[in-house]
Amino acid sequence: MKRRSAREAEREYVSTHWGIEGPRGVFKLPAPDPTFGAATALGHLVSVTYRTTKLGDGDDLTDYEHKFAVRGGRPVLAFNDTGLLILGGGYTVNYRGIVG
């Protein structure tokens, strides 16, 4: 899998937020490493809710909820010593949001 540049991530943010520009630059945030070792499953994800502003929301933060369908194969929430992981599920993200 090709590593994305910061500029590519910025463009993708605009696409997935319906045209609104997001924060610029590279963030140094901790992120879990799925290759660190075996992960312990907590269970299947039924839904995920995230809070953001998208074009059309005005300046208001909005909660977006995505419910995972059983037919698509629900992803698994798991963890290892590096943090929480979302594994499997066959979902992608595009301009419409989480799809699959």
Please write the tens of the pLDDT for every residue from 10-47.
887 788 887 878 776 667 778 888 889 899 999 999 99
pLDDT given at position 56: 80
More confident site: 33 or 2 = 33
Q: Distance between CA atoms of 1 and 18, rounded to whole angstroms?
A: 26
Q: Distance between CA atoms of 44 and 86, rounded to whole angstroms?
A: 9
In a domain, 10, yes or no: no
In a domain, 17, yes or no: no
pTM comes to 0.72
For residue 49, pLDDT beyond 90: yes
In a domain, 69, yes or no: yes
pLDDT given at position 45: 94
Q: What percent of the chain has pLDDT over 70?
A: 94
In a domain, 77, yes or no: yes
- Give the structural domain span for 63: 37-100
Burial 11-47 (b: 16+ CB within 10 A, else e): eeeeebbeeeeeeeeeeeeeebeeeeeebeeeeebee
In a domain, 50, yes or no: yes
Domain count, the chain: 1
In a domain, 9, yes or no: no
